[in-house]
Chain A
Amino acid sequence: MSRRSLALVGLPITTPVSAAASSSNPAAISMFLGFVVLTLGITWWAARRTRSTTDFYAAGNRIGGFQNGLAIAGDFMSAATFLGISGLAFIAGFDALLFSIGGTVGWAVILFLVAERLRNLGRYTFADAVALRLDRVPVRALAALGTLAVAIPYLLAQLVGAGALVQALFGVPYAAAVVLVGVLMTLYVSFGGMIATTWVQIVKAVLLLTGGTILGFGVLLQFGFDFGALAAAAVEAHPRGIAIMAPGGLYRDPISVLSVALAFVCGTAGLPHILMRFFTVPDARQARRSVGYAIGFIGYFMGMIFLVGLGAVALIGTDPGFRDADGALIGGSNLVAVHLSQVIGGDYFLGFISAVAFATILAVVSGITLSAASTISHDLYANVFRHGRSSEAGELRVSRITTILISAVAIGLSLALERVNVGVIATFVLAIAASVNFPVLMLAMYWRGFTTRGALAGGAVGLITALVLTVLSPTVWVAVLGFDEPIYPYAFPTVFSVAAAFACAWLFSVTDRSARAGIDRAAFDPLLVRSELGRRSGP
């Protein structure tokens, strides 16, 4: 690779020639502008259709199963998945497959255990389903806390990642990139609500699936569709050699492996912006279909991503053109898929993939922002503070104002925390989702004996355990705080935090003799019927 390709990824490298070229990949910029114009058009169209809270939170329940499947897949195929897992495959080889399988199987669990019942029970947020049988006010407050503890850090991670990516791809300064992404997401969500968020996500999912397919097949094409030759070239190029085709590149202990599995399986099913998607379809049947489609897309994409990572090892692994003066990969392992696009399809394809990566972040942050705004306006404002007595117009206004406030907070945090480790935050977010939202939602839908006290105890313990263990883990205690030895030796807290959450939820439920516990348990039977058969339409 020449110096020119370095310049195209826009990194500040030493020669004046590249500096001049760094801000101009016309293909990337025009494709990105095309995406922005299209999505703003969608937002304008959606804003005219957003009149009620149902429109704002749930796209008026009018999204079809196939479209929602694409949108769900789009939500899950974030930049972290696309760039992160391909980067992981680039570094660790085989062990990245644990993520590919985990991501797919996690969705199967959502299909079988969550999608149908949640659709039948809830209206706008997953707290709706929990609050049907448990004490409304404290449980909604807990769900809002769980949602915000996921949404705000996740938003921060995505924005920081977006800033770094845009800086690398387009040569725009970090701060300008963060503000640009932030302003666009605020526009999409505050004007277009869930309708705009869903359609932006669908457009992006199609683009990303297309890009992933071209990358994957492009890699195979380079090796005459001989997978063995690709693998052999990767082994040849990788410093760890044959070891990348064998397990052990990332994890060597059972606790870590199990934690990753739990983070994927339970964490995905506890992400509020994903749970919200089930309310955009008209009924449980469409909810089920949408996950069916989503798993197809996600599984396919996961398969492609590993291929992309392996292809990156083989095709750019040793190329000095993608390394800086110190021999480090330009932009870190997160940019391998982008570098690879240059090798596969030249400048235009590089531009396409860069634009798609940016679109991905934009679409995902919009979904997360909407989930945070929904929980504040629907769970906290309308149900906790106004006890369900707020007007629809009032709730809608609050949700729009909240959207702007949340975006402002997230932009501010991302500007202040440019150096934060995005991977750590993503881990933490999944751990919170798995340890707070997932146990509370699952037990409320499946266990007759669950009580409000059990929910509060389980949720609080899950939250605290996940938080404390993350701080004590090597990724924060050693890497961020600078201590020599981690107190908790594993990267993921999930094994302990999920177990603690379920154990406390159980213990504090079975020992609960309060009058409220009686109400909670008695409310289970009607809820069971509704969760299976849907809302009764008549009296």
Chain B
Amino acid sequence: MIAERDREQSRDPAFISLLRRRQRVRFAVAGLLVGLYLAFALVALYRPQWFSTPVAAGSVVGWGLPLAYLIIAVSIVACGAYVHWANVRFEAEERRLGRGSEPEPPA
């Protein structure tokens, strides 16, 4: 019964539209972060001199180090933004689709 109603809802244009937008955001941000990580790893591998170029004259600290910290910071900010955005935007739509995130019934 429940499965049948879920199957019905899977054809609901409002659901399909919500799903598309959600997927786009998820894959875009996940792809961006993984891409940054891979790019960092590839530069470390093939152009290590870029990362060891000093950030300031006379410093032993190369550009790679602040960039690594930047990628970590970007990951945190991107995830925080997604959580906030999903909670605000999608929750409202979910409620319109009649579901919302209510506590599930006891098992």
* Contact yes or no, B104 A112, CB < 8 A: no
**In the complex, A97 Cα to B71 Cα: how many Å?**
11
Q: Assess A112 versus B44: contact at CB under 8 Å? Given A105-B33, A536-B5.
A: no
* Contact yes or no, A247 B64, CB < 8 A: yes
Q: Assess A246 versus B61: contact at CB under 8 Å? Given A525-B7, A533-B97.
A: no
8 Å CB contact of B34 from A105, A231, A285, A302: A105
Contacts of A285 in B (CB 8 A): 87, 91, 101
- Which secondary structure characterizes the binding site on chain A? helix
Q: Mark B32-46, 1 if CB is under 8 A from A, else 0.
A: 011011101111110
Chain B minimum-CB-distance residue to A294: B79
Contacts of A246 in B (CB 8 A): 48-49, 51-52, 62, 64
* Contact yes or no, B65 A94, CB < 8 A: yes
Does B18 belong to the interface (CB within 8 Å)? Answer: yes
* Contact yes or no, A261 B65, CB < 8 A: no
B 60-107 contacts with A by CB, 8 A: 60-62, 64-65, 68-69, 71-73, 75-76, 78-80, 82-83, 86-87, 91, 94, 97, 99-107
Chain A minimum-CB-distance residue to B41: A257
**In the complex, A523 Cα to B7 Cα: how many Å?**
9
B17 to chain A, nearest CB (A): 12
B56 to chain A, nearest CB (A): 7
8 Å CB contact of A101 from B4, B72, B80, B101: B72
- Which secondary structure characterizes the binding site on chain B? helix
Q: Assess A257 versus B45: contact at CB under 8 Å? Given A102-B37, A525-B7, A528-B10.
A: yes
Does A109 belong to the interface (CB within 8 Å)? Answer: yes
* Contact yes or no, A105 B44, CB < 8 A: no
* Contact yes or no, A231 B19, CB < 8 A: no
**In the complex, A108 Cα to B28 Cα: how many Å?**
12
8 Å CB contact of B61 from A227, A296, A303: A227
**Count of A-B contacts with CB under 8 A?**
198
Which of these binds chain B: A12-20, A248-256, A323-331, A488-496?
A: A248-256
Q: Assess A536 versus B72: contact at CB under 8 Å? Given A98-B44, A245-B62, A526-B7.
A: no
Contacts of A291 in B (CB 8 A): 79, 83
8 Å CB contact of B75 from A104, A247, A253, A536: A104
Chain A minimum-CB-distance residue to B9: A529
Contacts of B18 in A (CB 8 A): 532
8 Å CB contact of A530 from B6, B43, B73: B6
* Contact yes or no, B99 A536, CB < 8 A: yes
* Contact yes or no, A231 B75, CB < 8 A: no
B77 to chain A, nearest CB (A): 9
**In the complex, A525 Cα to B6 Cα: how many Å?**
8
Chain B minimum-CB-distance residue to A116: B86
Does A111 belong to the interface (CB within 8 Å)? Answer: yes
Interface on A for B, CB 8 Å cutoff? 52-54, 61, 94-95, 97-98, 100-102, 104-105, 107-109, 111-113, 116, 123, 227-228, 231-232, 235, 242, 245-248, 251-254, 257-258, 260-261, 265, 282-286, 288-289, 291-292, 295-296, 299-300, 302-303, 306, 523, 525-530, 532-537, 539
Known: A251-B45, A296-B79, A529-B10. 12 other contacts (CB 8 A): A98-B40, A107-B75, A112-B27, A228-B60, A231-B60, A252-B45, A254-B42, A254-B45, A261-B34, A288-B83, A299-B75, A535-B104
Interface on B for A, CB 8 Å cutoff? 1-7, 9-11, 15, 18-19, 22, 26-27, 29-30, 33-34, 36-38, 40-45, 48-49, 51-52, 56, 59-62, 64-65, 68-69, 71-73, 75-76, 78-80, 82-83, 86-87, 91, 94, 97, 99-107
Q: Would you mind naming 15 contact pairs between A and B with Cβ atoms under 8 Å apart?
A: A54-B106, A94-B44, A108-B34, A228-B61, A231-B60, A251-B45, A257-B41, A282-B103, A296-B79, A296-B80, A299-B73, A526-B10, A530-B6, A532-B22, A533-B94
